[in-house]
Structure 1
């Protein structure tokens, strides 16, 4: 509760006392030191939007249990609005700052909307109670990296994996990683094939105009119409395209 004006940094420390699987008593200490600033522009420009979203998800999960799902949804909307209002009011008084919202916070509205539409916080009775409880627990317990992936999954075009991909040397083998694209209908080509990685599940979407060459080399089938709707695995075929895709799936 003391004033931080005269401090250049503050330190947070948390200790966890636990018993290992071998019965050993251990203490794990986490220490975090952060700079102090009274300049709102500096704070906004250096904000960690993924950490903010992770914290809001945990607070919203608590709110949904102690109050209601609707109040949790309203709280998430208010967070996005409050951040935008603070940035806007600060930028109006600081003409040197050209963007209404700093680059570090540009995706906050998108992530909040993703949370509101997620199984954990979706309105109505559409999500089953067990599913909602499961995803609320994930909001409370998942590391930030995996929580963000559930809220905003990774989408990769695999039909261009041979031509447009980053190549990483994995021992003696080359790993081809397609460039991730935004979750937008504009990035979905009917001639393409895509992998959607949600951290929990991996989905393969095949455009209806995909080439027969791709279908033959990846699924060992003749045409798109021959693809089964309930397939849960990809055949491992002895051709470069199939091997590149399977290596990428193993990497994920």
Structure 2
């Protein structure tokens, strides 16, 4: 679907502000988890920031929908955006707002043509590690049988889970924690596949460039050989000398 010019301009102008808001969301999400003894005012302020960021992304979706020429097709092709906008309204849990914001940031990053695949993958890895660690710590820290009690334990668990190593020294015991573990495992496998495919595509592109250059050089040599033969024929014709087999005769 070809995007209208107004929609493209809107996406370019709002890309950086939305990423700045996403960073604000990251800080607001992390503060109450890293500092569980934070005051009620701080927690309320962080909660307000989270909702403001989600509201900004929701507004961005509504504006892009209004600027789209074919709105039905826009909704079908951006269904993840719609799910991310509606998700926090179904049940106002902090984890749902986390998932919604990650989805929206990811979709907006894909739309940005200047964001390269490598940068996107690296950002995705850092974001998943950070948010995965914070999310599992928030649900496992107060669990009676939980063994993820500190941020260090949570980060270590996220690393071993995303890389599918799974040492087993730290593991979630709650239902939500296990859902997070499944999400991190699948995300780690998907990102590894993207990195592998990107490296393979780079090698294939290099081989194709070498092949094209070799064919170009071969064609240049063939053309040069034909030109030399033509010049020899002209010289022979001007001098009256036989050319090729005639000289042997």
TM-score by structure 1 length? 0.30
In terms of fraction of residues, the more strand-rich structure is 1
Greater RCO, CA 8 A, separation 6+: 2
TM-score by structure 2 length? 0.31
In terms of fraction of residues, the more helix-rich structure is 2
